[in-house]
């Protein structure tokens, strides 16, 4: 099974998105998946101009000369696409959105009727499944609601099945490994199991997802830890006045 992994976090390898992706991809690899990992932050991906040149003048070809065609070829050869993005202001990062807009290259301009309304036919193969991996700072799964809905619609637009979402709220609590080693290990183990389940079963069980998003500390402790971190950061800044 070929999986293309799109990490759309601007902090790339240094970020929590990658910290969550790592065990997930270990689990997927253990089940025999072949992974292609794309760090969008290292790629040149220009914004869609909305010119529709790729629809008619040069069908399937964009006016931009950037890294997207090579990524499109990899996507087309994949069985599953994993979109990994942190929550930024209740949605995906702008890196992710610029990338997603460019996926219009997969669509033929004509409309076709389906039982769910009109859509465009695919002009080339798009992965049969789309899976979301996301992290966010606030506690509570509801912080992912707009992103999950958006990703479900993107899957529908691209004739792909939304295969679920691995979501880790209060992501900074995974840094409390010294204080809560068993709880953090439990979460990280569940993330690895989720990667294995996705490859083995085509989706991740509710039980595994619940363990991944489970509380590591209380909201009060999260708030206290975060506030004291930022107080220290603020105090260590040089005063220019
Ligand atoms: C510009 C920006 C906006 C953010 N907006 C939200 C938000 O709306 N809700 C939330 O829970 N976390 C939010 N966060 C926290 C991020 O989801 C969190 O810092 C995450 O770890 C970032 O991913 P990374 O570590 O891979 O860079 C935001 C962070 C940034 C930098």
- Which pLDDT tens digit goes with each residue over 159-169? 999 999 999 99
When pLDDT is averaged across residues 180-198 and rounded to a whole number, the result is 98
Q: What per-residue confidence (pLDDT) applies to 239? A: 79
Helix then strand count (H, E) for the chain reads 7, 7
Q: How confident is the model at residue 186 (pLDDT cuts 50, 70, 90)?
A: very high
Give the pairing of strands 34-39 and 117-119. Answer: unpaired
Q: Range of 11's domain?
A: 2-216
Quote the ligand 1 centre to 194 CA distance (angstroms): 22
How far is the centre of ligand 1, averaged over its atoms, from the C-alpha of 178 (Å)? 23
pLDDT at 35: 98
For ligand 1, which residues put their CB under 6 angstroms from it? 9, 11, 15-17, 86-90, 135-138, 143, 171
Q: Is residue 37 part of a domain?
A: yes
pLDDT tops 80 at residue 38? yes
**Kind of pairing between the strands at 34-39 and 161-168:** unpaired
Q: Which atom of ligand 1 is nearest to the CA of 16?
A: 25
- Angle at 224 (CA atoms; ends 218, 225), nearest 5 degrees: 90
Q: Which two tokens stand for residue 122?
A: 């695919």
Residue 222 included in any domain:
no
> How are beta strands 34-39 and 2-7 bridged, if at all?
parallel
Average pLDDT on 52-69 reads 97
Q: How many domains does the chain have?
A: 1
Average pLDDT over residues 214-239: 95
The pLDDT, as a whole number, for residue 240 is 75
What's the rounded Cα separation, in Å, for the pair 116 and 112?
11
d(CA 17, CA 22): 9
Query: What's the whole-number mean pLDDT along residues 62-78?
Result: 98
Residue 176 located in a structural domain = yes
For ligand 1, atom 29, name the residue with the nearest CA.
88
pLDDT at residue 112 greater than cutoff 80: yes
241 occurs within a structural domain = no
Probe ligand 1: pick from 87, 95, 97, 134, max atoms within 8 Å of CB?
87
What distance in angstroms lies between residue 133's CA and the mean position of ligand 1's atoms? 14
For residue 75, the domain's CATH number is: 3.40.50.360
Atom number, ligand 1, closest to the C-alpha of residue 11: 27
Cα(69)–Cα(22) distance, rounded to whole angstroms? 26
| Residues 146/171, Cβ–Cβ less than 8 Å | no
Atom from ligand 1 closest to the CA of residue 89 = 8
Look at residue 228 and tell me if it is in a domain: no
pLDDT per residue over 72-105, tens digit each? 999 999 999 999 999 999 999 999 999 999 999 9
In a domain, residue 229? The reply is no
3-state helix, strand, coil in the chain (%, to 5): 45, 15, 35
Whether residue 240 lies inside any domain: the answer is no
Token pair 């509570």 in the structure block, residue: 140
Instruction: Provide the pLDDT for residue 238.
Output: 86
Domain-embedded: residue 110: yes
């Amino acid at each position: 099974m070929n999986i293309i992994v799109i990490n759309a976090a601007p902090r790339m390898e240094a970020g929590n998105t990658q910290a969550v992706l790592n065990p997930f991809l270990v689990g997927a690899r253990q089940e025999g998946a072949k992974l292609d990992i794309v760090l969008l932050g290292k790629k040149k991906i220009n914004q869609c101009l909305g010119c529709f040149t790729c629809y008619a003048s040069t069908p399937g070809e964009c006016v931009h000369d950037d890294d997207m065609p090579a990524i499109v070829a990899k996507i087309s050869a994949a069985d599953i696409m994993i979109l990994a993005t942190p929550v930024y202001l209740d949605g995906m990062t702008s890196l992710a959105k610029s990338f997603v807009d460019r996926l219009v290259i997969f669509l033929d301009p004509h409309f076709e009727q389906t039982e769910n309304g009109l859509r465009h036919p695919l002009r080339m193969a798009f992965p049969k499944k789309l899976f979301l991996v996301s992290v966010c700072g606030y506690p509570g799964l509801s912080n992912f609601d707009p992103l999950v809905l958006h990703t479900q619609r993107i899957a529908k637009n691209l004739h792909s099945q939304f295969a679920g979402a691995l979501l880790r709220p209060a992501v900074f609590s995974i840094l409390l490994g010294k204080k809560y080693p068993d709880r953090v290990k439990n979460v990280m183990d569940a993330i690895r199991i989720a990667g294995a389940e996705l490859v083995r079963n085509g989706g991740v069980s509710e039980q595994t997802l619940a363990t991944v998003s489970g509380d590591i500390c209380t909201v009060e402790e999260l708030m206290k830890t975060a506030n004291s971190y930022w107080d220290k950061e603020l105090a260590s800044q040089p005063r220019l006045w």
